[in-house]
Structure formats: structure tokens, C-alpha cells
Amino acid sequence: MTETKSHDANQMTGAAMIVRALIDHGVEHLFGYPGGSVLPIYDEIFQQDQLQHILVRHEQGAGHAAEGYARSTGKPGVVLVTSGPGATNMVTPLADALMDSIPLVCITGQVPTHLIGNDAFQECDTVGITRPCTKHNWLVRDIKDLARVLHEAFYVATSGRPGPVVVDVPKDVQFAVGTYHPPRRTDVHISYTPQVKGDPVAIRKAVSMLAGAKRPVIYSGGGVVNSGDEACRLLRELVEVTDFPITSTLMGLGAYPASGKNWLGMLGMHGTYEANMTMHDCDVMLCIGARFDDRITGRTDAFSPNSKKIHIDIDPSSINKNIRVDVPIIGDVANVLGDILTVFKAEAKKPDIKPWWQQVATWRARNSLAYKKNSELIMPQYAIQRLYEATRGRDTYITTEVGQHQMWAAQFYGFEQPHRWMTSGGLGTMGYGLPAALGVQVAHRDSLVIDIAGDASVQMTMQEMATAVQYELPIKIFILNNQYMGMVRQWQQLLHGNRLSHSYTEAMPDFVKLAEAYGGVGMQVIKPGDLDGAIAEMIKVKKPVLFDCRVASLENCFPMIPSGKAHNEMLLPSEATDEATAAAFAGGKALV
């Protein structure tokens, strides 16, 4: 090696390359857990101060934290874990991120190349195991490929429909010396070039359908949030220009403000009556960045039977997957909406849909989110409402676990901005919310970050309280504690003859003591009258808080479209008598 070469700043070990590449991609925080196969990388992290590493207590926590980080910033979340169990513990967050289109770059250590396939200590086939739960993955066997693969990884994770990627780096490659090159334009993956711009013919057709609509609806999804702030701005402008009613999926909440006058609330299995009826009876449906998931459509052959459907999606495989659409437009939401607005403003005028709005008003009047007030017990819906009132107008981010509390949060917490709502939609991962809140708080140090949790879910990743304490992340874990796996119990009650098989948590920890054991703050509220004061106190505390909110234990989440029923067969809370419920759910036991 010549004198000049040894001083070449781009000559470095694989481990140094990884740290350098992360910095070059603008990464400020990474979430991880060390182990034998990533020690060289941890050694590099130790010797620099541009990247801050957040040490979690379980790799799954790192993954969900990175998801929360990504979802709240629009930037990719980065995770570093070791081989074997480190990698397998990441499988749940990777699958979660794939379902919800969250950009994650996960770097896993691997045993040295000469040991691969030998059943070495802490070896597993990481690329094999993670292949179906990543957008793409790589095993880097040669230091010469490392810089290119790292740059490709960021490109693939963030372009097109975002998603998680894994770069598996054997330990000898981390030690090997090679030449680094900074990201350059050619580091895009040559076979992966997603279509961003919509087909102008389809756009024109869509505009004429919109302009001719008598009973239109806009159905927007997580793709709008993923596309970015411009997409959300354009969505709001489109609603303004057309005056169409708009509903959204769970993942899309916040793209259009909940206080907007055209807002119908969320749609789907636990969506509002007005949103689902509007979907069912519309004549033109504009689906933007959503994927006709089974939780949205209900019974597919009775889904919005008389409408023409326009579907904007960057992923061609979302088109015609569950529901046949009339005008597919493949492209990025911001790009396509921009074109639709330009054409609409130039060539169309807003249709008269006054009768349609009158119809919507009658549906709204059903007040489908009503619940029975109670002066003795805290109703879970009431708890969310009070939390919302106490935090609206503040700089607040909400995460959730999965279950009844998640649906109540979606129904009763009003989101005004995108990127403020982090929830596990597709995979439905209990234990998502606490670590996700960590990730959000890392990105937004001074904001109020609340995990609306259930007592069962939160125990799945409770260990991350230690992380919150260590990094002084004052996350608020607002537990709607009904002492059941509420959604499981609800389904058992509705579909399985009220045989509550293993859905009651017999040995509930004392959450107050638990919080204190971790070095956080524990609070408990039992009476509705004490709720507001306690919430105010929780917000004031500058430490992680476990807030044990004891709620009515047998409350069910309504309205509800029973599995396998159509949008116009919703069960409203006021009508959910035992007989009506039994009839509505008859025969649905086998469905998910």
C-alpha cells in the first residue's frame, strides 16, 4: 500500500463505513442493542459524536422506536442489532413496518463469512428469515459492495412505497478495509424505479368523473401521509375546491384535519356511521393512498356497490387487489393530486352536491359514537375525550398499542396534522406504542408524546420504560386499564357465547409501583371527577409516566361492522341490544 493511499480519508473498515454512511444520509439517531457480531460497529459509534445511539432493552423495542421516529419525522428510522436473536427479535417490527409502509434501515451483524452455514453461535439465516417481511434485504459478503449497498438501502427504503430494508453485515466484513464512497446518484438500485407521475389520460378521466359526481366521497389513507406535507396540503386544497366529503383510514388520520367541515371521521370496522354510509351509497369514490383493506371494505361483494372508483397509489399491486376499480392512477400522491387540481381548476367546476350533503347530515345525526355516560366509572371514551381536550392546541404526538383503546383513540382524538398519529395498523402489533413513543420523543424532545395504551398491550414491551428513564424521555403512557384484553373479550362476547377464554388478566401489576421501580412516575385514577386534574399533572411531569386509568371493564367498542357484513349493516351502540348483536354476528365466527 502506498503512502498516499494509507492516508486516503475514504479508506476505512466496514464498521467505520457503516457509521459514515449513516451520517452521510443525515441520520442523527439510531436505535439498537449490541452483541458479538456488531461489536466493531459499536466501537466506531463510541469514537464519534455525530450519531446518537439509543440503547433499548429488547430489539423489538428498537424496531418500533425507529418506526415511531420515522412516522413522526418522515425520515427513515435506523436500527442496529446483532446476529441471531438480535435479528429474529427484529422480525415483528420489520413485518409491522412493511404492512404500514414505514421506511426503516435495519443493520444486522452476522457471523464471519467463513462460518455462515455452519450453525455458528448466534447464527441465523437473517436474509432468509427477513425476506418476506422486508421490502428488500442484502447480505454483504465483500467489503467492496458495502458502501454501495448501504446507499441503495436508503434509496429503496425511502423511495416509491416506503418500507423496511435489512443489510446483513458479517463480522469479518466489518473489520475488512475498503474504499468508501459518499452517496451518489448512481447508487439507486438499477432495477427499481417506481413510477411517480400519474398517467395524464387517467387523470383527465378522473377529473371528469369528479366533476360529474352527484354523491362523491374522498377516501384517503396512509399513502397521503407517506407522500409528505405537500400531499396533505394538496388533499386539503382538493377538498376545499370540490367541497366533497372526506373520510380516512386509520393510517391516514391527520392528513385532513378532524376539525375540517368536510370531515366524516374514520371509516371501516369501527369507523363512523356517516363515513361508512357515505362510502356505501356514493356514486364516485376517490381513493387516495389507501389499499381497500378488509377492515375497510367489510364484505367485498357488497362494498360500495354503485360507485365508480378512482384509485391513486404508488404501488401497482394495490390496484385491483381486493376491489376492482374503474380508473387506476399509479403515481405519488402529491404528484397526482397536483395534476388533478391543475386540470380540475382549469377545466371543471365543482358539482352541485347539496342534496348529498343533506343526506350525509342525516347520517351524522345518528351520532354513532355516542356512549352511555357514567358518574361512578370512567368510560374509556370519556378518558380519551378528556385527554384530547387537555392536550389540543399543544404540540402533541399520539401513539397507541392495539385493541379497543386504539379504536377509541382513533374515534375520539382529533388529529389536525399529519405525522402526529403513530399506530400499528396493518399488522396490529400489541406492544407497539410504548417504544414508538420513545422514538417519537427522541425526534421531538420538547413535544408532548403520549402512548394511549391498553393494560395488556403495554406489558408486552414494558421493559422500554428503562430506556425512557435512561435518556430522560418524558413519554406519557396513558393506560386505559379495563383488566381485560378488551378487543379479545369483545369478540368472545359477541361471537363465542361470552366464554372469556384467557382474556382476563388475573395478575395485573401495580402500574404505579412498576413506574417507580423503573425510576418513572406512576399515577392512578379511578373516579371520573379526578381525571382532569390527574391528566394536567401527568402533562406537567417532566419524567416518563405510567398513568393507570381504571375504566369501565366491560365496555365494547362501537359502532362496528361485524366481519363479513357490508357498510350499511353497521351495528350502532344505541342498537346493540343482546338480540340485535346476536343476530348481527350470527355465522361470523369463522371470520377474522
Partner 1 sequence: MTQPASAYFIEERHDPNETHTLSVLVQNEPGVLARVIGLFSGRGYNIESLTVSETEAQKHVSRITIVTTGTPMVIQQIKNQLDRMVPVYRVVDQTLTGRSIERELAMVKLRGVGDARVESLRLAEAFRARVIDASTESFVFEITGGPTKINQFIELMRPLGLVEVVRTGVAAITRGPEGM
Selected binder of partner 1 within 57, 181, 204, 321 (CB under 8 A): 321
255-294 residues in contact with partner 1 (CB under 8 A) are 293-294
Task: Please identify which of the residues 11, 28, 75, 122 carries the catalytic annotation.
Answer: 122
Of 229-237, 296-304, 465-473, 541-549, which part binds partner 1 (CB under 8 A)? 296-304
The residue from 12, 209, 487, 523 that is catalytic is 487
State the DSSP code for 153. H
Inter-axis angle of helices 578-585 and 486-495, to 10 degrees?
90
Single out the residue of 317, 358, 375, 501 in contact with partner 1 (rule: CB under 8 A): 317
Q: Catalytic site residue 261?
A: no
- Taking CB under 8 A as the criterion, which residues in 189-248 touch partner 1? 189-192, 194
Which residue blocks in 212-299 are alpha helix, DSSP H? 222-227, 229-242, 273-281, 294-297
Question: Are residues 354 and 558 in contact, defined by beta-carbon separation less than 8 angstroms?
Answer: no
Stretch that binds partner 1, among 31-39, 127-135, 205-213, 456-464 (CB under 8 A): 127-135
Instruction: Please indicate whether residue 308 is annotated as part of the active site.
Output: no
Q: Contacting partner 1 (CB under 8 A), which of 114, 324, 445, 513?
A: 324
**Is 442 an interacting residue with respect to partner 1 (CB under 8 A)?**
no
Catalytic residue among 12, 31, 59, 244: 59
H helices of 348-485, in order, are: 354-364, 380-391, 404-412, 433-443, 465-470
Please report, as residue ranges, which positions from 517 to 546 form the binding site for partner 1 (by CB under 8 A): none
* Interaction between residue 142 and partner 1 (CB under 8 A): no
The answer to whether the CB of 467 falls within 8 A of the CB of 438 is: yes
Least distance from partner 1 to the Cβ atom of residue 215, Å: 24
Q: Does 315 bind partner 1 (CB under 8 A)?
A: yes
Alpha carbon distances (Å) from 589 to 44, 561, 562, 579: 54, 14, 10, 16
Instruction: Output 67 or 313, the one with its CB closest to partner 1.
Output: 313
Among 50, 320, 342, 367, binds partner 1 (CB under 8 A): 320
Q: Which of 62, 78, 139, 456 touches partner 1 by CB under 8 A?
A: 139
Instruction: Kindly tell me which residue out of 156, 235, 390, 453 binds partner 1, with binding defined by CB under 8 A.
Output: 156
Cα 578 to chain centroid, rounded: 34
Q: What phi and psi, each to the nearest 5 degrees, are found at residue 470?
A: -60, -45
Q: How far is the CB of 142 from partner 1 (least distance, A)?
A: 11
350 is a contact residue toward partner 1 (CB under 8 A):
no
Alpha-carbon distance values, 254 to 57, 216, 247, 269 (Å): 31, 21, 11, 19
Report the greatest alpha carbon distance in the chain: 86
Residue from 3, 49, 301, 578 touching partner 1 (CB under 8 A): that is 301
With 0-12 CB in 10 A as exposed, 13-18 as middle and 19+ as buried, what is 513? exposed
- Cβ neighbors of 514 (< 8 A, separation 6 or more) are 462, 465, 522, 546
Candidates 262, 276, 297, 335; binder of partner 1 (CB under 8 A) is 297
| Interatomic CA distance for residues 147 and 39, integer angstroms | 19
Active site residue 547: no
**Smallest gap, in angstroms, from Cβ of residue 171 to partner 1?**
19
Is 423 a binding residue for partner 1 by CB under 8 A? The answer is: no
SS3 393: coil
Candidate ranges 18-26, 187-195, 335-343, 463-471; the one touching partner 1 (CB under 8 A): 187-195
Nearer to partner 1, 580 or 591 (CB): 591
How many residues touch partner 1 under the rule CB under 8 A: the total is: 38
Query: For residue 135, what are the CA distances in angstroms to 101, 127, 138, 344?
Result: 9, 12, 11, 35
The angle that helices 143-158 and 14-24 make with each other, rounded to 10 degrees, is 30
CA atoms within 13 A on the CB side of 199: 13
Scanning 76-84, 410-418, 550-558, 563-571 for contacts with partner 1 by CB under 8 A, the matching segment is 563-571
Binding of residue 322 to partner 1 (CB under 8 A): yes
Q: Measured from the CB atom, is 319 or 453 closer to partner 1?
A: 319
- Please state the φ and ψ torsions of residue 521, each to the nearest 5 degrees: -115, 135
Calculate the dihedral angle through the C-alpha atoms of 440, 443, 449, 452, rounding to the nearest 10 degrees: 0
Q: Catalytic site residue 354?
A: no
- Minimum Å gap between C-beta 144 and partner 1 is 14
Smallest distance from partner 1 to CB 303, Å: 9
Active site residue 487: yes
Q: Which residues does 3 contact at the CB level (< 8 Å), separation at least 6? A: none
121 binds partner 1 (CB under 8 A): no
Q: Of residues 132, 200, 355, 519, which one binds partner 1 by CB under 8 A? A: 132
Please state, in angstroms and rounded to a whole number, the distance separating the CA atoms of residues 132 and 143: 26
Nearer to partner 1, 165 or 442 (CB): 165
Burial class (CB in 10 A: 0-12, 13-18, 19+), 197: middle
- Is the Cβ of residue 264 or residue 269 nearer to partner 1 in the bound state? 269
Cα-based distances in Å from 447 to 11, 395, 410, 591: 41, 5, 20, 41
**3-class DSSP state for residue 414?**
coil
**Catalytic residue list:** 59, 121-122, 171, 487
Residues that bind partner 1 (CB under 8 A): 127-128, 131-132, 135-136, 139, 156, 160-161, 189-192, 194, 293-294, 297-301, 315-317, 319-322, 324, 563-565, 587-588, 590-592
